Structure 1
C-alpha cells in the first residue's frame, strides 16, 4: 500500500493526521508530491517528519521548492514573496538547495507522478474535462494513470484517451471547501482511493495568526475557509 501526499505546506497537524491514517490503513511506502514547507507555521518540522520516512518515501519537486531556491521566479506579490522569504530562512540554504534538486516527475508501477502536470509544475490539469487541454498537457504520456496536485482540489476523472487523472488534493491547505486533510492511497493491485482526514484546523490557523505577517494571516483565512478565494 502506497500513500500519496501532495501540498503539505508546512502544516504539521494535518501531516501527522494523514500519516497516522495511512499507516493504520497499511501504507508502507509514500509518494511525496511537492510543496512541503511554504505557507505553513512548521516548515522545518514537516520536512523533518517526511525525511524520517527514509527509503520508504519517493520525493518529487513542486513549484515551491523551485521558488524557494529562486524567489525571482515567483509572483511579485506581498503574500508570495513574504512566504518565500520566510520558508527559505527557516529551511536554510542547504536544505533549500536539496529540495530544489528533486526530480520533477517519477513513474512507479505504471503511474506517472508529477506536481501540476507532466510538462509543468505550474500549469494544472483541470477538474472538468477539456480534451484539447488534456491532449496538450499529456502529450507523450504512455502511462495509463497520472497523479498530481498543485490546485489543492481533490478529484479523479478519465480522459478521452483512457488515461485516469487523479488529483490527490492537499494535505495541508485544501481549496475545495472541505477543511479536512486530503491524500490518496493505492494498493498493490493498483486500486486507488481518495481519502480525507479530520485534524485541528484551528490550531494551525491560530499558529499562523500568531506569526502576524501578511502571508501568514492570508493563509490562516484560506485554511479556515478551505478556499483560495477570500
Structure 2
C-alpha cells in the first residue's frame, strides 16, 4: 500500500499544487491529511476544494481549522494567527466552512500499522518538539507508525526498545530523506508543512509511505513562493505571513 501524507497546508494553493504535481493520483493508493487546511494563506477555498476533490481516505482537523470555522475561539492564538483566522472565516464559502468545521478530531487509526493525529495521540493540539514529547506521544500511540503535524517541522522519531533516535532532514538538503521501517520499532513521523514550513527550508514538505517496501520518505518540493506572497499581500493579510514564507520560519 502506498500512502501520501499531507499536513499543514494553511491556505497555500501554490505549495499544494506543487506537491500534487510531484505526487499525481496514480502514485499513491491512500491519501492521509493531518489537518490545518486553512489559516495564514490567502486561498482557503481553493485548498479545501482541491483536497476534498481528492477524497482523502483519512482526514482530521487541525487547530486552525477549528478556529477559522468558529468551532473554537482564538484565545490560544497570537495576534497574527487570530487576524488570519478571522479573515479566513469571512473568506470561506458557507459550504467550505461547513465541510472544514465537520472534520473529525484525531487521532485516527488508518490500518493495523498506521495512525494519524494533528498534534499528538494524547492531545490533538499538543506540540511535539523534542524527545520528551515524542516519548509521551509514542506511549499513547495505538499503532507502530504514527504521522503527526502541527509543528511545521519535519522530523522522524524512531524508538528501538528503550532507545529513541531522532532524524532531522537537513534544511536546504536533498529533496528526499528516507526512513526504512523495521518491525518491532516504533515511528513518530512529522512530514512537515506544505503551506508554511518552519525549519528554515522554504520548500513545501510532505511524506510518503510504501508499506510493501517498508519505506517512508520525507520530501521537499520547491514552488512559486513569490506568487503565494503576492496573494497574501493582495488579500490584505498581515505582511509578516508573506515574508516568513521566504524564510521558511
CA offset digits 1:168-222 (Å, max 9, x no partner): 10011100111111000111424211111111111111211222332xx121111
1:202 matches 2:226: yes
Tell me, in whole angstroms, the C-alpha distance in 2 between the residues paired with 1:118 and 1:125.
Answer: 10
> Kindly tell me: are residues 156 and 16 of structure 1, through their superposed partners in 2, closer, same or farther at Cα, counting changes over 3 Å?
same
Of 129, 132, 148, the residue aligned with 2:131 is 129
| Aligned 8 A contact 1:112 1:145 in 2 | yes
Query: TM-score, structure 2 length as denominator?
Result: 0.81
The CA deviation string for residues 142-161 of structure 1, in whole angstroms up to 9 with x for no partner, is 31111101111111121337
Distance 1:23 1:49, change over 3 A: same
Count of paired positions: 221
- Aligned with 2:192 (options 158, 169, 185): 169
1:193 paired with 2:194, answer: no
TM-score using structure 1 length:
0.87
Residues 141/6 of structure 1: CA separation in 2 closer, same or farther (3 Å cut)? same
Aligned-residue offset at 1:94: 4.5
Whole-angstrom distance in 1 between the partners of 2:27 and 2:77: 43
2:53 aligned partner: 52
Q: Please tell me whether residue 212 in structure 1 is matched to residue 228 in structure 2.
A: no
Q: Structure 1: where are the runs of 5+ without partners? A: none
Q: Which residue pairs with 1:2 in the alignment?
A: 3
Report deviation, 1:84. 1.1
Correspondences of 1:38-187 after superposition (within 5 Å): 38-54=39-55, 56-68=56-68, 69-75=70-76, 77-103=78-104, 104-109=106-111, 110-126=113-129, 128-130=130-132, 133-159=133-159, 160=162, 162-187=185-210
Summarize the alignment of residues 24-35 of structure 1 with structure 2, pairs less than 5 Å apart.
Answer: 26-35=27-36
Report the Cα distance in structure 2 between the residues aligned to 1:29 and 1:41, rounded to whole angstroms. 27
Question: What CA deviation, in whole Å up to 9, does each residue of 1:16-72 have, x standing for no partner?
Answer: 111111127812321111100211111100100111112x54211111111122452
